[in-house]
Amino acid sequence: MDSIALNTDDTPEVPPPPTEPVLDTRRVRIHPDHWYPVAWSRELKTGKPLAVRFAGDPVVLVRPKEGAVFALENRCAHRQVPLDAGVVSGCAIRCGYHGWTYDASGKCIDVPYLGKGKLPNGVKSYPCREEAGLVFIFPGDPAKAGDFPDLSAATGNLYKTRRFGRAVNCHYSFMHENLMDMNHQFLHRKQMGQIRPRYLGRRLGETWLEVQYTFARTGGKQPLGETALFGGKRTKDVNDKDVMTIRTDYPYQTLRIVPAGGDAPVMELWIVYVPLDKEQRTIRTFGLLSIRKPKGTLARAGLTVGWPFLVAFTERIFREDRDIVEAEQAAHDAQGANWNQEVFPVIRELTGLLGRCGLPPEGMEPLLLNAAE
């Protein structure tokens, strides 16, 4: 699909209600042919296997004393018991039941009571990579393990980065829509005051969607967390001048804020929503929130002082978002279908993007439901 240029009309066009069947995005599985974080680096201790899950598949992560982190299917080929209950031995892991041993490729390299020429098949291994304090696996076809997400803001020295994430009881599509649609600022009125977002337009590609907004404060005080973000109080003359760009670049999302008169983002967010269960109704979010370090010793000291306020502010915002998307999921489950009457073109296009980039329900063709009913 060709890129669609930004629509600079202040008011987005309102499409008519759908009259043709549309994809029920809540039933679409996330596509495995991408790099996904499954743990924070701090969670994986040297010599102590860590059990994680990706879309219901059990995975064990291993950090040997020497060598790189590796990831295997979390089961022993012998009696199917979890390998995370075993013992790390050099650059391999030994099952805690009978001592069967697997190297980083998943090959069985030792069965204590068998000769070396009689070793059985091993277990599945995953391409594994550690970046920016995250442990990633590639759960799909290993031959396609190519492009890796850009995490330069979190790995460079220009930004101070907060690493955050929680389990959320919803399908990943709700999270994509929540971040992309800044018209929901009314939800955060107690945290942010009265904010009026202004939609600038969007661009669309086959696997990505980008939208831009500006904001104006129409009431209430600037939160301390926002003060820490911008390095001081914001006056009314900057209303509608800070530009926020939000992008879904499947399966990741980014958010960047360029302040009025600036040429570099003051904030960059990279976030992804990783399904934990087979039904993909529970996800774990992994977010990297990077705040640009100001110039000057005093300004940097101010960021350090304001950092706890920023952390508390973003935690409250995320809690409100988590609660509302979980309520959306509960409504979808009770209704058994997607009854949403969506009028914002950005979200309608995002729904299509997630549908064509994901996988249909297991054993089924893409599921079509009539959203107008």
pLDDT of 18 reads 46
Q: Is the pLDDT of residue 370 over 80?
A: no
Q: How confident is the model at residue 216 (pLDDT cuts 50, 70, 90)?
A: confident
pLDDT of 192 reads 73
Q: Pull the structure tokens for residue 50.
A: 């860590």
Beta strands per DSSP E along 14-79: 22-23, 36-40, 50-54, 57-62, 70-73
- The average pLDDT across 273-277 equals 98
pLDDT of 238 reads 54
pLDDT of 367 reads 47
Cite the DSSP H helix spans in the chain. Answer: 152-155, 172-180, 189-192, 224-230, 297-335, 345-357
pLDDT of 17 reads 47
CB 72 within 8 A of CB 93: yes
pLDDT of 99 reads 94
Amino acid at 217: R
- Whole-angstrom Cα distance, residue 57 to residue 360? 17
Residue 114: strand, helix, or coil = coil
pLDDT of 229 reads 55
- The average pLDDT across 201-220 equals 88
* Matching fold, domains 22-30+153-369 and 36-144: no
CA atoms within a 13 Å half-sphere pointing along the CA-CB vector of 113: 4
Average predicted confidence (pLDDT) for the chain: 87
Q: How confident is the model at residue 13 (pLDDT cuts 50, 70, 90)?
A: low
Q: Is the pLDDT of residue 191 over 90?
A: no
The answer for 112, left when phi > 0, alpha when psi is -120 to 50, beta otherwise, is alpha
Amino acid at 55: A
Q: How far is C-alpha 347 from the chain's CA centre?
A: 17
- The H-or-E segment that residue 90 falls in is none
Q: How confident is the model at residue 310 (pLDDT cuts 50, 70, 90)?
A: confident
pLDDT digits 0-9 by tens, 289-301: 999 988 887 778 8
Predicted TM-score (pTM) of the model is 0.87
CB 296 within 8 A of CB 174: no
- The average pLDDT across 31-51 equals 98
User: What's the fold here for domain 22-30+153-369?
Assistant: Naphthalene 1,2-dioxygenase Alpha Subunit; Chain A, domain 1 (3.90.380)
The answer for 97, left when phi > 0, alpha when psi is -120 to 50, beta otherwise, is alpha
Tell me which of 182-186, 193-197, 284-288 is least confident: 193-197
pLDDT of 206 reads 94
- The average pLDDT across 356-371 equals 66
- Give the residue extent of every domain in the chain: 22-30+153-369, 36-144
CB 258 within 8 A of CB 241: no
- Going 91 to 92 to 93 to 98, the CA torsion angle's sign is negative
- The H-or-E segment that residue 252 falls in is strand 252-258
- The average pLDDT across 294-322 equals 86
- Whole-angstrom Cα distance, residue 221 to residue 236? 11
pLDDT digits 0-9 by tens, 227-265: 555 555 555 555 668 899 999 999 999 999 998 778 889
Q: Pull the structure tokens for residue 255.
A: 């958010």
Class of domain 36-144: mainly beta
Burial class (CB in 10 A: 0-12, 13-18, 19+), 102: buried
Please spell the DSSP secondary structure of 192-248, one letter per residue.
Answer: H-EEEEEEEEEEE-SSEEEEEEEEEEEESPPPHHHHHHHTS---GGGTTTSEEEEEE
CB 266 within 8 A of CB 230: yes
Q: How confident is the model at residue 371 (pLDDT cuts 50, 70, 90)?
A: very low
- The residues, any chain, with a CB within 8 Å of residue 166's CB and separated by 6 or more, are 284, 285, 318, 322
pLDDT digits 0-9 by tens, 92-120: 999 999 999 999 999 999 999 887 778 88
pLDDT of 46 reads 97
